[in-house]
């Protein structure tokens, strides 16, 4: 359990750093810092990553494919959230701008990469 909390702390720190860089980039481009649901995108991706992590680890058993299905289901949930929460406002003007896509995709990609890295580490240690 301690390792899982450490992972969540690392994930939070990486997302906070990325969020800061994201805001600096927006400021450098003279774009509005708080448009496009940027805070919500980072928060939702962190919360969903934490939920998916705990669901996968709770259902992790040796030689079980169930954890993989839960992980993929979690990824589907993230896309569903994107299409229900973010896309309608992003497409309200008729098109999705690159800045809108990046606002959701950056935290999504960071969470996905770190989740895969951590869960693969856990799985490799389990089989040892």
Q: Give me the half-sphere count of Cα atoms (radius 13 Å) on the Cβ side of residue 44.
A: 21
- Rounded Cα distance, 111 and 8, in Å: 10
Interval 59-73: pLDDT, tens? 877 656 777 788 888
Rounded Cα distance between 91 and 34, Å, is 17
- The pLDDT of residue 18: 97
Q: Is 38 helix (H, G, I), strand (E, B) or coil?
A: helix
pTM above threshold 0.75? yes
Domains identified in the chain, total number: 1
Helix, strand, coil distribution of the chain in percent, nearest 5: 80, 0, 20
What pLDDT is attached to residue 64? 66
Low-confidence ranges of the chain (pLDDT < 50): none
What pLDDT, on a 0 to 100 scale, did the predictor assign at position 126? 72
Residue 100: domain span: 2-126
Phi and psi at 27, nearest 5°, equal -65, -40
User: What DSSP line would sit under 100-113, residue for residue?
Assistant: HHHHHHHHHHHHHH
């Amino acid at each position: 359990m301690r390792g899982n909390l450490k992972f969540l702390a690392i994930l939070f720190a990486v997302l906070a750093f990325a969020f800061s860089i994201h805001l600096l980039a927006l400021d450098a481009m003279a774009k509005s810092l708080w448009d496009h649901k940027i805070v919500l995108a980072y928060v939702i991706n962190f919360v969903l990553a934490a939920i998916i992590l705990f669901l996968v680890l709770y259902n992790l058993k040796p030689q079980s494919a169930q954890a993989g299905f839960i992980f993929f289901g979690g990824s589907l949930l993230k896309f569903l959230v994107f299409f229900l929460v973010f896309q309608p406002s992003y497409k309200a003007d008729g098109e999705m701008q690159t800045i809108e896509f990046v606002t959701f995709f950056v935290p999504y990609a960071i969470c996905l990469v770190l989740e895969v890295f951590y869960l693969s580490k856990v799985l490799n240690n389990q089989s040892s």
